[in-house]
A and B are shown apart, each in its own frame.
Chain A
Amino acid sequence: MSIDVVLDGLFSGAAYALVALGLAVVFQPTRIMNFAQGEALVLGAAVSYQVVALWKLGWLVALVMVVATSIVLGLLMERLVILPVRLSGSRYAWIIATLAVALVFQSLFTLAYIDVPALRPAPMIGGQVSFLGNHIDWQELLTILAALAVMIAYDLFLRRSAYGQAVRAASHSADTAVLMGIPVQRVVMMSFVIGAVITALAGLFVAPVIFVAPASGLLFTIKGFTAAVIGGVGSPRGALLGGFLVGLLDTVVRSAISGTAGNFAVFAALAVILVVFPSGLFGKPMEAH
């Protein structure tokens, strides 16, 4: 196994880590596993493709546009998911709602980019950088660094800011948090927005390198979910570690055996970890949802 494979694994792992972080951000105050999370990644890829490849406007515009549209997406998702959960008493409401939202956005992306197999803009910084005698795309390095930066920023935000404390309180008990005067509804809305922005940024960074089809949101959700489970659902640091592990596993198996074996290894790892460690490798036990 060459160092190339490891770097590739870390790169795709960074994408999964950001999706996992998005999932964790939404999960913490709501206890909802958002199956539509991967759609934010597709949105990021689609907007950057639109701006950079079709409108030729440059990456700064793309960044601004991605952040703006993903905020709207987060707000929309919050309404579309939380409203059904509140209105219906069913214990399955959240999964049906998030799956339905995933379905709706997936078909919207597919309709908008019906002839586009992959949303692939040009890289932000072309060319390669030499690293330990190997070459790595600038884009890949940039993505890994960006993932680390986002992760550290969110961790600080969660620990240092009043909002972070509110999130942690709401994740323990939404009812008690309301009694303590924490605006849980606003916390939930913010979480959806932050989760969507983080995941969309992942789309923005990885789109130039990996294959993001308009309909691939669900696949990214599942890979991100695997990362989140490995890291322990609801823990941002675990999400980072889980993401990198998933990426490495996927890429290493892929290069060692075959293309489909990579997916298989990831899903098998998910099953094994869920069965053997029902609360994730690094996570605290989560009560029955």
Chain B
Amino acid sequence: MRRIALPHRSGSPASTLVRVRSAALSTLAAAVIVVLLLWPRITDYYSYNATYYNGIVASAAIAAILTVSLNLCMGYGGMLSMMQTALQLVGGYGVAIAVVKMGWSWLLGLAIAIVVGTLLSVLVLLVSLRATYLYFGMITLAADLIVVEVGRSADPLTGGVVGIAGITPTVGGTVIPKNQFYYLVLALLAGTYVVQRNFVRSGAGRAAMAVRESTDTASAMGIRPATTKLLVFGVAGGIGGLAGGLYALQMGFVNPDVGLLDNGLIFFVGLFLGGIGTLVGPLIGVGIIAVIVELIRGYARYTTLILGLVLLAAIMLIPAGIVGSWRSSRIGRDPTGPTDEDEAPGDVPATVPPVAAPAGVAALEGVGLMKFFGGVRAVDGIDVRIMPGTVHGIIGPNGSGKSTLVACLTRYHPLNAGEVRVFGRPAPRAPYAVAAAGVTRVFQAPHLFERVSVLDNVLTGMRMRERYTWAGAVVRTPGYRRQDRAERAEAMELLRFAGLGSRASWPASALSHGQKRLLEVVRAVATRPRALILDEPATGLTPTELAALARLCRALRDRGLAVVLIEHNVDFVMGLCDEITVIESGKVIERGVPEHVRRSPAVLEAYLGRPDLLEEAS
């Protein structure tokens, strides 16, 4: 997501392109901002109907704020939300009731709008935590419909079907001129944009994107999916409520129709036209729609039809939206920069701290573990002890229960019987809590966050260590800046070690299979685990990459970590491990040092089916 300044050779065409492009874009942005700032003067000078044209821009800015909220939910949080118009409605009610019914200040009304929007979002999210993607969207739809119906029927409070009119922002008894309100809306739009940007680029935003891509992977990084979703959805709800409050102040009224899903379509159109999951996409999209609607003002009855067709055309022609398409166009995309193919992997960075473990206590221990799937006893009474400062191999034929054992140890599967201990203490129940206790796993199949950059993947692994709050990240406190800088430096160091330093700004999806596997290990190391579980990391790796992996495992062992290696590559395991546990049909059939295991008749029988081969082989 974030663009990282790469060391370009000065004078190369690529760096010239980047410079010219960023200058052009900055000029364009500055021009737009200047026009927006001067807009009331421009309209005043050129038009008899200045208030109307100012109102159009103010309304578009308010719509942009709501679209930013939608972008946070859908683009960054991965949560299908159809209740943005309901947020707008409750925000509007908040201001209307405060100003008209209570006679309070409109500023207090806006604050109430934000709070009410946040509360509604939090409430909806809390009741629907179990719901998956599609059903979550449907619950938000139901919430939207309910809010509208409540607005229609709660007559004394909301004014029923008619709504509440006469909402005006006043200071000391006089109504604020529309011009000044225009600047207030612009300032709040800018503020919303900054909140969005800082939030998304902080650890909180990376956590949200991790949960969006895969809750399992996020949990393995110690990220708590429920809290993360709650935060994103709550922040988006607050922004939505703010937009609703501004809407009511701008229009002067609010009624239940504001909450209708039909009215929300314009925000969907804006988001997808501009580019979902991009920072400026919502603003550009809404801006374009405002222009379109204004251009076809003479044919107002065709507005819905035209917007619908624009949406259909946009999703077919530019599926990634304007910003997304620009980024992948020839001019818009970042030059990849020189990559060092033979990048010499350095030493294991000093940032991996030595683990101090009490002597004689297993880093990770499973006692009598049992896991059944129906009648299949996938893990059938396994005891395993993994000591700190060792590399522990777990091998076994396909289907013997290795990966299930890992899932049991890291609490991805609930156990039928048995106990898991982490450094002598009973392991917590939830996967993210196990990760927080110091046990990080790398999955068997690649589980990268494909759509974010290589660097951001590593940074996501550091989420557990981040001490700043999301609010601190949004206002960029010195503490946040310090930690962010330190994290980036450390992540680059880890990447250089893995030979991925020159690819830090690439999207993770652009890496080769072996690079992805290494990146996953690096990301796991970034969580600073005390026990690291690698599920078949060597599959598909080249000899060079294998060597790097082996070196990393040894280095981590020397720092006192417990490394668990689940592997098929026998040579790799035998050369690397201090101790090996062999599993067959969910039971341990052999354990000990590699040499012992290699000669065990039980192991040979499990793999080859014939114990007499031991004699023949020797």
* CA distance in complex: A197, B452 (Å): 44
User: If A90-B276, A263-B145 touch, does A104 touch B312 (CB 8 Å cutoff)?
Assistant: yes
B-side contacts of A83, CB under 8 Å: 316
20 intermolecular pairs with C-beta atoms under 8 Å apart: A83-B316, A89-B319, A95-B137, A96-B268, A96-B272, A100-B269, A100-B311, A101-B308, A103-B304, A104-B308, A104-B312, A110-B304, A111-B305, A260-B152, A261-B153, A263-B145, A274-B131, A278-B132, A288-B132, A288-B133
Contact with B along A77-97 (1 / 0, CB 8 A): 000100110011111110111
For the complex, what is the distance from the CA of A264 to the CA of B305, rounded to whole Å?
29
Q: Apart from A218-B261, A288-B133, list 12 A-B contacts with CB within 8 A.
A: A80-B312, A84-B312, A87-B319, A100-B265, A103-B304, A104-B305, A108-B305, A110-B304, A260-B153, A267-B142, A274-B139, A289-B132
For residue A33, CB closer than 8 A to chain B, the reply is yes
A65 to chain B, nearest CB (A): 23
Beta-carbon contacts under 8 Å, B256-296 to A: 261-262, 265, 268-269, 272, 276
What is the chain A residue whose CB lies nearest that of B309?
A104
In the complex, what distance in Å separates the CA atom of A91 from the CA atom of B78?
A: 9
Chain A residues near B265: list those with CB within 8 A. Answer: 99-100, 103
Residue B143, interface by CB 8 Å: yes
Q: How far is the CA of A96 from the CA of B308 in the complex (A)?
A: 10
* Chain B residues, Cβ within 8 Å of A84: 312, 315-316, 319
B131 contacts across to A, CB distance below 8 A? 274-275, 278
Write the chain B residue with the least CB distance to A273: B142
Does A268 sit within 8 A of B, measured CB to CB?
yes
Minimal beta-carbon separation of B405 from chain A (angstroms): 25
Report whether B138 and A92 are in contact in the complex, using a CB–CB cutoff of 8 Å: no
Q: Which of B138, B272, B308 contacts A270 (CB 8 A)?
A: B138
Set of chain A residues within 8 Å of B139, measured between Cβ atoms: 271, 274-275
| SS of A interface (majority) | helix
A275 touches B312 (CB 8 A): no
Inter-chain contacts of B301 with A (CB < 8 A):
107, 110-111, 114
Beta-carbon contacts under 8 Å, B139-183 to A: 139, 141-143, 145-146, 149-150, 152-153
A101→B312 CA distance, assembly (Å): 8
Q: Bound complex: CA of A263 vs CA of B148, how far in Å?
A: 10
Complex: A88 Cα to B325 Cα, angstroms: 12
Give the size category of A's interface with B: 35 or more
Shortest Cβ distance from A269 into B: residue = B142
- The 7 closest A-B CB pairs, nearest first, are A88-B319, A103-B308, A289-B134, A104-B308, A107-B305, A288-B132, A107-B304
The reply on A222 being an interface residue by CB < 8 A is yes
A220 within 8 A of B: no
Asked if A225 is at the interface of the complex by the 8 Å CB criterion, the answer is: yes
Would A93 and B319 be within 8 Å (CB), given that A99-B268, A270-B138 are in contact?
yes
Please name all residues of chain A whose beta carbon is closer than 8 Å to the beta carbon of B127 when the two chains form the complex: 271, 275
Q: With an 8 A cutoff between CB atoms, is A287 at the interface?
A: yes
Q: Which residues of A contact B272 (CB under 8 A)?
A: 90, 92, 96
User: In the complex, which residues of chain B have a beta carbon less than 8 angstroms from the beta carbon of A261?
Assistant: 153
Give the total of B residues in contact with A, Cβ under 8 Å: 43
Residue of B nearest to A33 (CB): B134
B50 at the interface (CB under 8 A from A): no
Chain B residue with Cβ nearest A289: B134
Q: How far is the CB of A162 from chain B (nearest CB, A)?
A: 29
Cβ-closest chain B residue relative to A271: B142
On whether the beta carbons of B80 and A287 are closer than 8 Å, the reply is no
Bound-state CA distance A229–B142 (Å) is: 12
In the bound assembly, the distance between CA atoms of A220 and B265 in angstroms comes to 17
| Nearest CB of A to B299, in Å | 11
Q: A90-B276, A288-B133 are in contact. Are A271 and B153 (CB under 8 A)?
A: no
Chain A residues within 8 Å of B269, by CB: 100
Checking B78, B138, B149, B309 against A264 with a beta-carbon cut-off of 8 angstroms, the contacting residue is B149
Minimal Cβ-Cβ distance residue in A for B266? A103
CB-defined contacts of A289 to chain B, threshold 8 Å: 132-134
A264 and B315 contact, CB distance less than 8 A: no
Q: Which residues does chain B contribute within 8 Å of A104, judged by CB atoms?
A: 304-305, 308-309, 312
A274 engages B261 (CB within 8 Å): no
0/1 interface trace, chain A 245-289, chain B, CB 8 Å (1 if under):
000000000000010110110011011001100100000001111
Give the chain B neighbours of A91 by CB distance below 8 A: 78, 133
B62 within 8 A of A: no
Interface pair A111/B312, CB less than 8 Å apart: no
Do B142 and A270 touch across chains, with their CB atoms under 8 A apart?
yes
Flag if B128 contacts A93 (CB, 8 Å): no
Partner of A92 from the list B132, B141, B276 (CB cut-off 8 Å) is B276
Digitize B108-149: 1 where CB-to-A-CB distance is under 8 Å, 0 elsewhere.
Answer: 000000000000000000011011111101110111011001
Instruction: Mark contacts of B293-324 with chain A using CB atoms, 8 A cut-off: 1 yes-contact digit, 0 otherwise.
Output: 00000000110110111011001100110000
Q: Which residue of A lies closest to B277 (CB)?
A: A90
- Chain B residues with CB under 8 Å of A225's CB are 138
Q: Is B74 an interface residue (CB 8 A)?
A: yes
Q: Is the CB of B262 within 8 A of A218?
A: yes
**In the complex the two chains form, is B80's CB within 8 Å of A97's CB?**
no
> Is there a chain B Cβ closer than 8 Å to A30's Cβ?
no
Given contacts A103-B311, A106-B304, A111-B301, contact A264 B153 (CB under 8 A): yes
Residues of A near B150 (CB, < 8 A) are 264
CB distance from A239 to the nearest CB of B (A): 16
Which residues of A sit under 8 angstroms from B316, Cβ to Cβ?
Answer: 83-84, 87-88
Min CB gap B310→A, angstroms: 9
Question: B74, B130, B146, B320: which contacts A271 (Cβ < 8 A)?
Answer: B146
Contact present for B132 and A287 (CB under 8 Å): yes
In the complex with contacts A101-B312, A271-B146, A288-B134, A95-B80 CB distance below 8 A:
yes
User: Which residue on B lies nearest to A97, using beta carbons?
Assistant: B315
B-chain residues with CB within 8 Å of residue A92 when the two chains form the complex:
74, 80, 272, 276
Question: Are A222 and B135 touching (Cβ within 8 A)?
Answer: no
* Smallest CB gap from B262: residue in A: A218
**By the criterion CB–CB under 8 Å, are A93 and B315 in contact?**
yes
Residue among B127, B302, B309, B319 having the largest count of chain A Cβ atoms under 10 Å: B319
Q: Which chain B residues border A110 with CB–CB below 8 Å?
A: 301, 304
B residues 50-99 touching A (CB-CB < 8 Å)? 74, 78, 80
Residues in B whose Cβ lies below 8 Å from that of A275: 127-128, 130-131, 139
Which residues of the other chain, A, contact B149 by a CB distance below 8 angstroms?
260, 263-264, 267
